[in-house]
Structure 1
């Protein structure tokens, strides 16, 4: 990656944090310039189409991280190893529940319609990858589909409750229970 690509990647990460804090609508250009440390001209240099292009880049960045850390391992690696890696990656990415799921937050407000493809694609890929990994462990197809949907939904719910309850231990506890519940449904290795 060259220095311009590195700079843009770092910029996208900073913009993501502004969106996490303020939402898409609340992330004014003033807030984005303050959060990134760049002036409007520099932002428009990287994102000529403005805030919508920034949000698209943020969603792509998130999807790429999840693809590398969670989706592809679930799709290709030994399923039990990939499942264990998924739990660690989810806990790390969401900082044990202290960091909201920006894709989930975008899905809950008016932003959903603007970015529906990216939002639904993220969740569909996660569910599908988890479903297939579960099937590769020997779980039947119908059960794997239900477990995959329920697991992703429970992770998202745990993120919301951890923030709502202002309990830093809620998310890790929930992940541990979800992991155990899923492991209990797997056939013996």
Structure 2
């Protein structure tokens, strides 16, 4: 039975789960209606731009969460080691130890990427740059920080795929544990430490 009243913000979570499960193309209005409890008319009332506007709203909410819980702490916390460890902990919690699909990653894997290219690129670029800067502050050389940031994101995304494909969170946990250890292990340099580099 369709709901008579709903707040737009209340629709983001069920919309996200539909997109995660079926992708953009497979998220039909029938499936979206079933997940939200709203009919087509109500959905278009909240999202006049249709399914594309719904997906943009979900991506914006994801970006907001990561900005608050991942990117800003990485960029503003003076204790870089604590911030980096916190990033891995928050990431594990957000992706339900690898059992929750990365929707931004899903959208980036096929032709859907062209529809949301700006949002997808902004998400991954922001993550790479903030982590790289934190790694530099921790003491890694710029080239090593860049490589570690790239490897960390690859480990997170790959860990999700393995955990989901094999239905075993241990693969995600192992990938994050190794990536975190590599990030927090700084080789000593003759000058003691490296200055923060602009990325």
Q: Normalised by the shorter chain, which TM-score bucket?
A: over 0.9
Contact 1:20 1:102 in 2 (8 A): yes
C-alpha deviation, 1:139, in angstroms: 1.2
Write the distance in 2 (CA, Å) between the matches of 1:110 and 1:34.
25
Quote the residue 2:148 is aligned against: 147
- Which consecutive aligned stretches of 4+ in structure 1 deviate over 4 angstroms post-superposition? 186-189
Quick check: which one's helix share is greater?
1
SS at structure 2 position matched to 1:108: coil
SS at structure 1 position matched to 2:130: helix
The alignment yields a C-alpha RMSD, in angstroms, of: 1.6
Write the distance in 2 (CA, Å) between the matches of 1:109 and 1:56.
16
Consecutive unaligned residues of structure 2, counting only runs of 5 or more, are: 1-5, 194-199
Contact 1:134 1:186 in 2 (8 A): no
Quote the residue 1:162 is aligned against: 163
Quote the residue 1:8 is aligned against: 8
| Count of aligned pairs between the two proteins | 184
Quote the residue 1:22 is aligned against: 22
TM-score by length of 2: 0.88
Quote the residue 1:47 is aligned against: 47
Quote the residue 1:171 is aligned against: 172
Larger Rg: 2
C-alpha deviation, 1:186, in angstroms: 6.2
C-alpha deviation, 1:143, in angstroms: 1.1
Consecutive unaligned residues of structure 1, counting only runs of 5 or more, are: 1-5
